[in-house]
Structure 1
Amino acid sequence: MAFVPLALKIANLFAYLFLSGVNVYSGFFEDKEKSPYHNNYNTFITPAPFVFGVCGLIHFLLGGFVIYQFFDSATEAVVDGVRFHFISIALLNTIWLALLQENEPIWAWIVILATAFQVTYVYYVLKYKYQPQNINDIIWIHSPFSLYHAWIFVLCVISTFMAFSPKKENPDDKPNALVRIFVILGILILEGTVVNYVEKLKGDISGAIVITWALYGIACEQSDPWIHWTAQVLAFISTFHVLKPIVSKYYFGSREEQTRLLG
């Protein structure tokens, strides 16, 4: 194994440990009034806290990624595909978290956009240049970045409202008409992204599930009728889009196979 690939993989490992450590501290040990995982800065599009459980799944898969990268079968995708971008992603994500804890939502918004750019680059490189060669490639290389890509998009939407919309001080607060319109537009964008994942991005079901999960979280958290029911209805529609290719593949596909065998 050459020195440069090995150094990159070791750097990836330390970046992962750093990112995970910061997130664990913020989620379990940081003052709840500062941690974004406890809705310290509520807006009218903020989802319920359970939505942030997606982070745990992503970190678990990324843990598998930094282990699997040391196997020869992963070297090309990691060294030539992911390259140094995972290190940048880990650092930027940590800075975003720190800025939110310091109540700097506009700077946090800028940083999360930069993070999204890095994640999107890795996502498209892996999807179109480094197709999975086996089940381990799917689980430990492609899946974490697919989930991460969708989750970063959700964070971008949330961070935009944190930076530029009024803070929701109390659960019973109601938005003004302009805020309500922009929140509904944000929810529509999230649902449209689900459709894009399923219909355009080679049936990326995992990414679509993440955003659908966020839509359910928004519906659970927001009491304003316009926002609540828009999120609820679009969550149901997104669920349909997620299930449609699965049903088509496993139900209609099996029926076509039976028809072919029966002549």
Structure 2
Amino acid sequence: MGIVLKIANLIAFFFLLSVNVYSGLAPVKDSPYSHITYISPASFTFYVWFLIHLLLVGFVIYQFFTEDDDIINKGIHWHFVGVALLNALWLALWDDDLLFLSWIVILIIACQVTYIYHEIYFHYFPFDHFSWRYTFIYLPFTLYHAWIVVVAVLTTFAAITPEKTYSTTGHSETETASSPNIIVQLVVIIGLLFFESTAVAYIEARQDYAGGAVIAWTLYGVWHEQEDPVIHWSALILAIIATIYLFKPLVAKLFGRESKRDSVV
């Protein structure tokens, strides 16, 4: 099964890449950056996809040269192939405004990616952070996992909350976003808190700074995109807190070294 699975992973990657490139070049209406809601981040947030695809290139190449086939055959197995196929289905449903069905599909994708993530983390981690195995096995799937969490939340909001509306005032041709009602604001805050708790869980429970960084990046994207003061500033505050958590171990390590040095002196 080894070589067959590796070839299937290679084909699945190019299929995933072609689908996402097509959607990225499509008009906004037919791209993932449609169905804008009051939790949608700025378009630059989606550049995470470029990094994920870049690392997945390394994955599909590295798998042919690593001697550790166990992580490919048992850890990743056929789930990556399934993710690639389901991703295309999700995009098709999203483009056709079948949001409830796209929500179901993205949850299935999230389960598939979560399985890969957990298998790698619990059965094959830790890796040397400067190893090819970490860079091309662990890192692409931890970023993918965090990003799928983001996409799942965005799809959920697109399915259950009203789309963001714009209006023109006076003789100005500039469109301004309409303010959401208090219920939408409350639901968005809950969504932002979910993002924040996920980032903290990545960092505190798993020492997974890559996953936490994706969530923090998304929160900054929401802050940049949303004009409503409640959502705008809540996203910024939570993004800063997530960033502090990202650098917390580094700061603790530096201060720990200084305290040890002082005690020696």
TM class, shorter-chain normalised? over 0.9
Contact 1:132 1:142 in 2 (8 A): no
Q: Distance in 2 between matches of 1:49 and 1:35?
A: 11
From 123, 128, 133, the equivalent of 2:122 is: 128
Moved more, 228-237 or 100-109: 100-109
Q: 1:96 corresponds to which residue?
A: 90
Which letter maps to 1:46?
S
Structure 1 residue 194 and structure 2 residue 191: aligned? Answer: no
From 97, 100, 104, the equivalent of 1:106 is: 100
Q: Distance in 2 between matches of 1:210 and 1:48?
A: 14
Q: 2:245 corresponds to which residue?
A: 241
Contact 1:216 1:231 in 2 (8 A): yes
> Displacement of 1:254 after TM fit?
4.0
Contact 1:74 1:137 in 2 (8 A): no
> Displacement of 1:259 after TM fit?
6.2
Moved more, 203-212 or 85-94: 85-94
Which letter maps to 2:250?
I
Q: Distance in 1 between matches of 2:47 and 2:96?
A: 22
CA 69–258 in structure 1, closer or farther in 2 if over 3 Å, else same: farther
Which letter maps to 1:174?
S
Within 5 Å, which residues of 2 pair with 1:43-122? 43-122=37-116
Structure 1 residue 219 and structure 2 residue 223: aligned? Answer: yes
From 161, 165, 174, the equivalent of 2:161 is: 165
Moved more, 126-135 or 41-50: 126-135
1:82-110 Cα distance to aligned partner (Å, 9 max, x none): 10011011111121112111111111111
CA RMSD between the two structures: 1.6
1:118-169 Cα distance to aligned partner (Å, 9 max, x none): 1111101100101255411110000001101110001111110000100112
> Displacement of 1:41 after TM fit?
1.1
Q: How many residues align?
A: 254
> Displacement of 1:193 after TM fit?
0.7
Identity %: 45
Q: Secondary structure at the match of 2:34?
A: coil
Which letter maps to 2:188?
V
Which letter maps to 1:151?
W
Contact 1:48 1:218 in 2 (8 A): yes
Which letter maps to 2:37?
T
Q: Distance in 2 between matches of 1:257 and 1:79?
A: 45
Structure 1 residue 183 and structure 2 residue 188: aligned? Answer: yes
Q: Distance in 2 between matches of 1:244 and 1:120?
A: 26
Q: Distance in 2 between matches of 1:121 and 1:252?
A: 37
Q: Distance in 2 between matches of 1:245 and 1:195?
A: 12
1:163-203 Cα distance to aligned partner (Å, 9 max, x none): 010011224111111111000000011001111111111x1
Q: Distance in 1 between matches of 2:212 and 2:222?
A: 15
Which letter maps to 1:84?
W
Q: Distance in 2 between matches of 1:154 and 1:43?
A: 13
> Displacement of 1:258 after TM fit?
4.8
Unaligned runs of 5+ in 2: 167-175
From 118, 134, 137, the equivalent of 1:138 is: 134
CA 133–178 in structure 1, closer or farther in 2 if over 3 Å, else same: closer
Which letter maps to 1:8?
L
1:39-96 Cα distance to aligned partner (Å, 9 max, x none): 3211000000000000000011011101101123342211121100110111111211
